[in-house]
Amino acid sequence: MGRKDQIIGERKRKLDELRKIVNPYPHKFAVKDYSDEIKEKFKGLEENGSGGKVVVAGRVMTVRNLGRLIFATIQDGKGRLQLILQKGKTTNDDFSLFKKYVDMGDFIGVNGNVMKTNTGEVSVLVKKLEILSKSLLPLPEKWHGLKDEEERYRKRYLDLIMNPEVKQVFDKRTDILNAIREFMQKKEIVEVETPFLQTIYGGANARPFKTHLNALNVDLFLAISPELFLKRLIVGGYDKVYTISRNFRNEGIDRWHNPEFTMLEAYCSYYDYNDMMDLFENLYEYVAKKVNGSTKVEFRGKIVDFKRPWKKMTMLQAIKKWAKIDIDKMSDKGISSFVKKNKIDSKEDNWGWNVQAIFEHFCEEKIEQPTFIIDHPLETTPLCKTHRNEKLCHLIERFEPFCMGAELGNAYSELNDPELQRELLEAQQKALKKGDVEANPLDEDFINAIEIGMPPTGGIGLGVDRMVMLLTGQSSIKDVILFPFMRPEGKKK
């Protein structure tokens, strides 16, 4: 029998004995106080001084038994707190109960008086004790802990117990989401909800997840984007709308990508992509100040500053800077040859997709400070207006913000010409039938909505998980999603 099996066996023995004495899994405990509040309230207490009565509960993290004196640490949702059990001051039955049956990992609730030890630590001298949950499995060893990244992500519950700093990241994620909503409310942009299950998907170049609705015997798709539904609301009379939603894309997994992720999408009537640039950088600046108190953050050893205004570059300017070629002076054939020579993976061998591929290959990872890359090739999206400068009709009014080598979002001056919209979406439908798995099917109802009439509109999509990564200094998207997708255990790479 291994050491772990011995520990589990011993805990089961204790549980069997406990059941004869008390209920080791009571229904409730009336918590009145929390660790950080107690420590803050009584930090001025004199050494060996006594404070007020408290009622606290939490998981036992450490135990030090000195015979007539026991020191223990509990962890609640706010932090950690030292408990002291003393023979003669703690109820005798409860002192014996703790000493005989309580292990690290168990939940307990206590009544006691606050005191400060001669080492200056605010503690609770326990008067009464109740076992709230007897744990059967031991926590990871204190010094070895939970180090394996894959194990941390699979068993987030253990990660949160053993690594308190992890919870701080997710607390800040909540603060970020609250700050986003606060900003949007100040801008009078209304939060709405859109469906995750859709009969026709659209709004992004992405492969969807497919499922089936038995009740109606129809195939459905998980949303790759809420865009087409939000535009329907603009048609219906909403001036400004946004949603914070889950998107599902059947794509690769890396430090920036998870198949299920969180996006903010917003659409504002009578705006264009310039207005959406203002909105985007204002939002980032506001949230950074709100949650961090500064527009500057440290990410992978670099200081990033989200203070507006952000730098702007056209895609062709970026290519000229980092790829060292001038697209305007090259023929389509010359660009195609450049792509092949550099072994760049392009979606299609045409001007637009080759330019996009060159940018992705040479430029994206070079962009460290927040920068808007504007004026993308026409071929890259069917939902965007062409450039208002007639000399640039091969470009569209689209921008993507980049920072530390990652795309932070996407935005357009939205296409609202119903005839052109139909033409472009019909081209998407043809590409889909020919095998382009990222092309969108034709959504007749969406076209019908545009035919009813949509005002000039600006739209943005913002990757919430990537925002959280940057503002908390986390290098992987897995560190900002509580339950990231993981390869099933035992399945080979």
Backbone angles phi, psi at 297, to 5 degrees: -135, 155
pLDDT score of 5 more than 60: yes
Residue 147 pLDDT greater than 90, yes or no: no
CA-to-CA dists, residue 388 to 122, 377, 378, 393, 415, angstroms: 66, 14, 12, 7, 12
Region 336-357 average pLDDT = 96
DSSP assignments along 251-281, one per residue:
---BTTB-SEEEEEEEEEET--HHHHHHHHH
Q: What digits encode the pLDDT tens for the residues 184-214?
A: 999 999 999 999 999 999 999 899 999 999 9
Longest dimension (CA), the chain: 91
Q: What is the mean pLDDT of the chain?
A: 94
pLDDT at 118 over 90: no
Amino acid identity, position 295:
T
The pLDDT assigned to 323 comes to: 97
Task: Please state, in angstroms and rounded to a whole number, the distance separating the CA atoms of residues 381 and 204.
Answer: 8
Task: Look at residue 143 in the predicted model and tell me its pLDDT.
Answer: 41
Taken as a whole, the chain contains a residue count of 493
pLDDT digits (tens, 9 = 90+) for 215-234: 999 999 999 999 999 999 99
Region 10-36 average pLDDT: 96
Can you give the pLDDT at residue 146? 60
- Reported as type and span, the H/E element at residue 152 is helix 149-154
- Convert 350-360 to b/e letters by CB count within 10 Å (16 or more is b): ebbbbbbbbbe
Instruction: Look at residue 321 and tell me whether its pLDDT is greater than 70.
Output: yes
Q: Are 374 and 314 spatial neighbours (Cβ–Cβ below 8 Å)?
A: yes
What is the average per-residue pLDDT within 96-124? 95
Nearest to 291 by CA among 467, 460, 164: 467
Parse the chain into domains and list their residue ranges: 3-139, 162-323+363-479
Q: Is the pLDDT of residue 347 over 70?
A: yes
How far apart (Å, rounded) are the C-alpha atoms in residues 285 and 290? 9
pLDDT tens per residue across span 376-392? 999 999 899 999 999 99
pLDDT of residue 47: 80
pLDDT in the model for residue 262: 98
Please report the pLDDT score of residue 50 as a whole number: 79
User: How many CB atoms within 10 Å of residue 126?
Assistant: 24
- Specify the amino acid at residue 123: S
Homologous superfamily (CATH) for 3-139: Nucleic acid-binding proteins (2.40.50.140)
Residue 441 pLDDT grade (very low, low, confident, very high; cuts 50, 70, 90): very high
Domain 162-323+363-479 is in which class? alpha beta
Of the pLDDT bands very low, low, confident and very high (cuts 50, 70, 90), residue 270 is very high
What is residue 326's three-state secondary structure?
Answer: coil
Provide the pLDDT confidence category of residue 141 given band limits of 50, 70 and 90.
confident
Percent of the chain with pLDDT over 90: 89
| Type of residue numbered 430 | K
* 257: CB partners within 8 A, 6+ apart: 251, 477
| The pLDDT of residue 49 | 74
Tokens 């990244």 locate to 149
In the structure, what pLDDT confidence band is assigned to residue 46 with cuts at 50, 70 and 90?
confident
- Distance of alpha carbon 166 from alpha carbon 160, whole angstroms: 6
In 277-405, at which residue ranges do the beta strands (DSSP E only) sit? Answer: 296-299, 302-305, 311-314, 371-377, 395-403
Say how many CA atoms lie within 13 Å of 76 toward its Cβ: 20
User: Cα–chain-centroid distance for residue 82?
Assistant: 33
**Which residue, 202, 261, 263, is CA-closest to 231?**
202
Contacts 24+ apart (CB under 8 A), 470-474: 470/297, 470/299, 470/304, 470/403, 470/404, 470/408, 471/172, 471/176, 471/287, 471/288, 471/291, 471/292, 471/297, 472/169, 472/172, 472/173, 473/297, 473/298, 473/299, 474/169
Q: Show Cβ contacts of residue 433 under 8 Å, excluding neighbours closer than 6 positions.
A: none
pLDDT of residue 116: 92
Q: What's the confidence (pLDDT) of residue 4? A: 84
Average pLDDT over residues 310-328: 97
Q: Give dist(CA 323, CA 332) in Å, integer.
A: 16
| Secondary structure class of 362 (helix, strand, coil) | helix
pLDDT of residue 492: 64
- 80 by Cβ neighbours in 10 Å (0-12 / 13-18 / 19+) ranks as middle
Residue 36's H or E segment, with its range, is helix 35-41
- Confidence (pLDDT) at 286: 98
Is it the case that residue 144 has pLDDT exceeding 60?
no
Under a CB-based contact definition with an 8 Å cutoff, are residues 402 and 359 in contact?
no
Do 162-323+363-479 and 3-139 fall under one CATH topology? no
* Short-list 73, 59, 320, 284, CA closest to 179: 284
pLDDT at 365 over 80: yes
Confidence class for position 94, pLDDT limits 50, 70, 90: very high
| Beta-strand relationship, 190-191 and 240-248 | parallel
